[in-house]
């Protein structure tokens, strides 16, 4: 988290330095209807968990029916970090409105924590994913003041997993991984600033995203049995360069 705080302070310092100075051209990023760029994102993700009515029931071995754990007392999701790299395609609809897509390769793990009456049974399981995200967003910008524009944006995103991981059917029941659906849609909303330099434009941005529907592949492991649905929540800090 310290790295993110330092990045935010750095961006704020540059914004204050450029605000009110003689206008920089920005490399012509806004002069063309169609332009391109690249982006980097720091991501934190966690799950909103909807449990089954009988979620406290001990985890059972699907073959023998024997209890493998004591009764559950909680299921939670800790926010875990990830990152992505992507490309920007921007199309100007008007002076203050543009459509943009930022396809990105995302590396992010998600975590579930199981707590039981017998503390020695407690488990933490990660859902490992590498995915391609393809958002389609509308960006509404303010008028330019000096070298800065503020903006808000929102839209939808489709995520497709590109790594399946190794099969684990032969693993012990409590070692088998939970799986997410291979493809799902989310909505995103956020805000940021366009900061103009002499040869390029940089845009620090903060977004939140939530999946529209359940991302859990249900019933695939004993650890999935207590869970009815999982919804993915994301917080993203981005630096875009055009």
CA atoms within 13 A on the CB side of 125: 20
Q: What is the pLDDT of residue 22?
A: 45
Instruction: Give the span between the Cα atoms of 83 and 25, in whole angstroms.
Output: 30
Q: What is the pLDDT of residue 66?
A: 86
First to last CA, the chain: 26
- Measured from the Cβ of residue 53, the count of other Cβ atoms closer than 10 Å reads 8
User: What angle is formed at CA 236 by the lines to CA 242 and CA 204, rounded to 5 degrees?
Assistant: 35
Of residues 86, 97, 104, the one with CA closest to residue 30: 97
Non-local CB neighbours of 180 within 8 Å, separated by 6+ positions: 110, 127, 129, 161, 215, 216, 217, 230, 232
3: which DSSP letter? Answer: H
By residue count, the chain amounts to 242
Query: Which domains can be identified in the chain, with CATH numbers?
Result: 2-241 (2.40.160.20)
Instruction: Give the span between the Cα atoms of 33 and 192, in whole angstroms.
Output: 20
Q: What is the pLDDT of residue 174?
A: 81
β-pair type (104-116, 227-241): unpaired
Q: What is the pLDDT of residue 215?
A: 93
Q: What is the pLDDT of residue 21?
A: 47
pLDDT tens string, the chain, 242 residues long: the values are 545 555 555 555 554 554 444 455 656 677 788 989 999 999 999 999 999 999 999 988 888 888 889 999 999 998 899 999 999 999 999 989 999 999 999 998 889 999 999 988 899 988 878 899 999 999 999 998 888 999 999 999 999 998 655 555 667 778 877 888 889 999 999 999 999 988 889 999 999 999 999 999 876 688 888 999 999 999 999 999 98
């Amino acid at each position: 988290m310290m790295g993110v705080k330092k990045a935010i302070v750095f961006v704020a310092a540059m914004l204050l330095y450029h605000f009110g100075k003689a206008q920089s051209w920005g490399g012509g990023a806004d002069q063309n209807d169609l332009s391109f760029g690249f982006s980097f994102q720091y991501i934190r993700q966690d799950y909103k968990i909807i449990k089954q009515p009988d979620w406290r029931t001990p985890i059972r071995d699907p073959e023998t029916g024997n209890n493998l754990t004591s009764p559950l007392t909680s299921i939670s999701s800790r926010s875990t970090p990830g990152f992505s790299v992507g490309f920007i395609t921007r199309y100007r609809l008007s002076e203050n409105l543009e459509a943009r897509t930022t396809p990105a390769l995302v590396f992010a793990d998600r975590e579930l924590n199981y707590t039981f009456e017998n503390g020695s049974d407690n488990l933490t399981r990660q859902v490992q994913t590498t995915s391609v995200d393809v958002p389609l967003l509308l960006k509404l910008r303010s008028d330019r003041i000096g070298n800065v524009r503020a903006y808000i944006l929102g839209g939808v995103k489709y995520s497709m997993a590109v790594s399946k991981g190794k099969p684990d059917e032969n693993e012990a029941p409590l070692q088998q991984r939970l799986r997410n659906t291979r493809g799902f849609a989310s909505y995103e909303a956020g805000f940021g600033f366009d900061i103009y330099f002499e040869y390029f434009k940089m845009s620090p941005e903060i977004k939140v995203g939530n999946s529209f529907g359940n991302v859990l592949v249900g019933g695939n492991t004993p650890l999935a049995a207590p869970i009815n649905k999982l919804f993915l929540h994301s917080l993203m800090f981005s630096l875009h360069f055009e």
